[in-house]
């Protein structure tokens, strides 16, 4: 069999096959172009972004916002540490002990009040109430102790405050 004879006898079939193959390629190319066009539109919208910023502009703006937020967090952490340290020196422990200092008075009008910070430093205030006179005392307290002689009620007020 001769190849030229085969081509001459099947020429119509070969041409139909080539035309159909070309039509298939054209259809696939049209579908690909349509998909590419949709994808290109979506990509253009993504790159344009809002406020007429492109994707790079939006990323740069977000990066600047993140840097500002990080600096603010560092500042707030520093302020919080300073407040925590300062709060140790604030009065945070208070206790009041009321008692009857003199037998001739009818109720518990005398008192000892301890005002202490977190480390037990502060002051204990006492007031002794009597029918004819009243007296008030203030004694410094350091680490739950005082260099002054403390009454039992003052000691009790300091102890209760330290336990708070």
Rounded to an integer, what distance in angstroms lies between the CA atom of residue 136 and that of residue 109?
12
Residues 100, 133: one domain? yes
How many domains is the chain partitioned into structurally? 2
Query: Which of 87, 110, 141 is the endpoint of a domain?
Result: 87
Q: Which domain holds residue 150?
A: 93-163
Residues 71, 123: one domain? no
pLDDT digits (tens, 9 = 90+) for 23-81: 999 999 999 999 999 998 887 777 776 666 677 777 888 999 999 999 999 999 999 99
pLDDT digits (tens, 9 = 90+) for 80-126: 999 998 888 899 999 999 998 887 766 788 999 999 998 999 999 99
Residues 81, 99: one domain? no
Is position 8 within any domain? no
Residues 111, 157: one domain? yes
Is position 5 within any domain? no
Query: Which of 68, 87, 106 is the endpoint of a domain?
Result: 87
Residues 75, 100: one domain? no
Query: Which of 67, 87, 107 is the endpoint of a domain?
Result: 87
Is the pTM here over 0.75, yes or no?
no
Rounded to an integer, what distance in angstroms lies between the CA atom of residue 111 and that of residue 129?
8
Residues 117, 155: one domain? yes
If 0-12 CB within 10 Å is exposed, 13-18 middle and 19+ buried, where does residue 12 land?
exposed
């Amino acid at each position: 069999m001769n190849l030229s004879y085969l081509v001459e006898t099947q020429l119509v079939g070969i041409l139909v096959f080539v035309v159909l193959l070309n039509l298939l390629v054209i259809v696939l190319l049209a579908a690909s172009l349509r998909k590419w066009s949709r994808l290109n539109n979506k990509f253009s919208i993504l790159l344009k972004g809002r406020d007429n910023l492109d994707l790079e502009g939006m990323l740069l703006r977000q990066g600047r916002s993140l840097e500002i937020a990080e600096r603010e967090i560092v500042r707030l952490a520093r302020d919080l540490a300073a407040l925590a340290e300062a709060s140790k020196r604030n009065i945070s422990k208070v206790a009041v002990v009321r008692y009857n200092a003199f037998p001739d008075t009818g109720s518990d009008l005398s008192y000892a009040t301890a005002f202490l910070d977190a480390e037990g430093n502060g002051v204990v205030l006492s007031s002794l109430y009597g029918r004819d006179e009243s007296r008030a005392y203030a004694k410094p307290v350091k680490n739950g102790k005082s260099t002054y002689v403390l009454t039992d009620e003052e000691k009790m007020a300091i102890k209760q405050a330290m336990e708070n």
